[in-house]
Structure 1
Amino acid sequence: MTNAMTEMTKTMNPMVLPSLKEELAEEVVFLDDNMMINQINMLSVKKIDPSIKVHVFTNVPQALDHIRKNPDTPRIIFTDLDMGVHSGWDFIAAYDSMHLPWPVNIMTASIAQEDMGKSNNFSCVRDYISKPARIQQLQILLKQPLLAA
């Protein structure tokens, strides 16, 4: 997608952009400070679709830097909430302010109702999943169009 298209998605309803509405992820980003969970997630995605690029980050600044350098790559993002210095909420707030159309899925061990409720405050958050994610959950999310309602 061109930068012009990215700018258009900031101001246009996705219903007006049918080609984007049907787009699938070319890349998956996992943000979690637990490398074992990252490895399991990466292997699961590769089992589902070996052609999808997988990027794993263990901290928020690295993940945001990657996304800023590649804003037009159709992607689906999974973030944990509880991570060292910066939390998943820090990532979500920064990402949400970028106004990119690609969805974020919270993948966390937290079952706190306040976390689930807080996730509704961000337009970029699509789903809230308990970790570790089951391969069936990942498969469903990876096969959904990125801009699905």
Structure 2
Amino acid sequence: MEQNITQILIIDDDEINNFIAAKLIGKVQEHTVVNTCLNGLEGINYIKAKLNDEANFPDIIFLDINMPVMNGWEFLALYDQLDSPLKKKASIYMLSSSVYNEDIEKASVYPVVNKFISKPLTVEKIKDLFSELKINP
């Protein structure tokens, strides 16, 4: 039986956080490919490059809010404008150290955002997320 590979994209300017998150995801679910982008512009360019590549289009996007060049909100605005049915494939999670209620409320306004997750990403949070998405380890 062929194992589905879960494609994950982390868009966060903290390289150490990205490294740790990728390792934790690998511990929970070995059949994953984790790609990282260091800001929203890199992220939107990555997404645009995968619009005709369903197998490698992200299933899950972890999106930080506060980043240089392009922040998470600016990324979401551009993502929202993309004209592709593949957008429905991705589950977007705001992953932020922000504890501002405004950010949490703002995230809930975007229909493409599934949930707001407070940093740090933990094995428990990843397991819960995969369980919600019915991704079996």
The one-letter amino acid paired with 1:50 is: E
Q: Which deviates more from structure 2 when the two are superposed, residues 103-112 or residues 68-77?
A: 68-77
Matched, 1:46 2:23: no
- Which position in structure 2 is the counterpart of 1:140? 128
Does residue 56 of structure 1 match 2:36?
yes
Name which of structure 1's ranges 121-130 and 72-81 shifts more when overlaid on structure 2. 72-81
* CA distance in structure 2 between the aligned counterparts of 1:118 and 1:107, rounded to whole angstroms: 13
Q: Aligned partners of 2:123, 2:5: CA distance in 1, in Å? A: 16
- 1:15-42, Cα deviation, whole Å (9 max, x unpaired): xxxxxxxxx8720100110011001100
The one-letter code sitting in structure 2 at the alignment partner of 1:111 is: V
Residue 142 (structure 1) shift = 2.6
RMSD: 1.8
Whether contact under 8 Å (2:41, 2:69) holds in the other structure is no
Structure 1 contact 25–76 (Cα < 8 Å) conserved: no
Question: Whole-Å Cα distance in 1 between the matches of residues 24 and 100 of structure 2?
Answer: 26
Does the C-alpha gap of structure 1 residues 62 and 37 become closer, same or farther in structure 2, counting only changes over 3 Å?
Answer: same
For the pair 1:114 / 2:94, whether they are aligned, the reply is: no
Answer whether contact 1:28 1:53 (CA < 8 A) is retained.
Answer: yes
The alignment partner of 2:111 has SS state of coil
Gaps of 5+ in 2: none
Question: 1:96 maps to what in 2?
Answer: 80
Report the Cα distance in structure 1 between the residues aligned to 2:34 and 2:132, rounded to whole angstroms: 17
| CA distance 1:116–1:64, change in 2 (3 Å) | same
Where structure 1 has 5 or more consecutive residues not aligned to the other structure, the ranges are 1-23
Does structure 2 conserve the Cα–Cα contact (< 8 Å) formed by 1:26 and 1:75?
A: yes
Cα offset for 1:74? 4.9
Work out the CA distance in 2 between the residues paired with 1:140 and 1:96: 26
Compute the displacement of 1:123 (Å). 0.9
Q: Percent identity?
A: 25
Task: Return the match for 2:67 from 61, 80, 83.
Answer: 83
What TM-score, normalized to structure 1? 0.75
Contact in 2 for aligned 1:25/1:142 (Cα 8 Å) = no
1:37 corresponds in structure 2 to 17
The structure whose RCO (Cα within 8 Å, separation 6+) is larger is 1
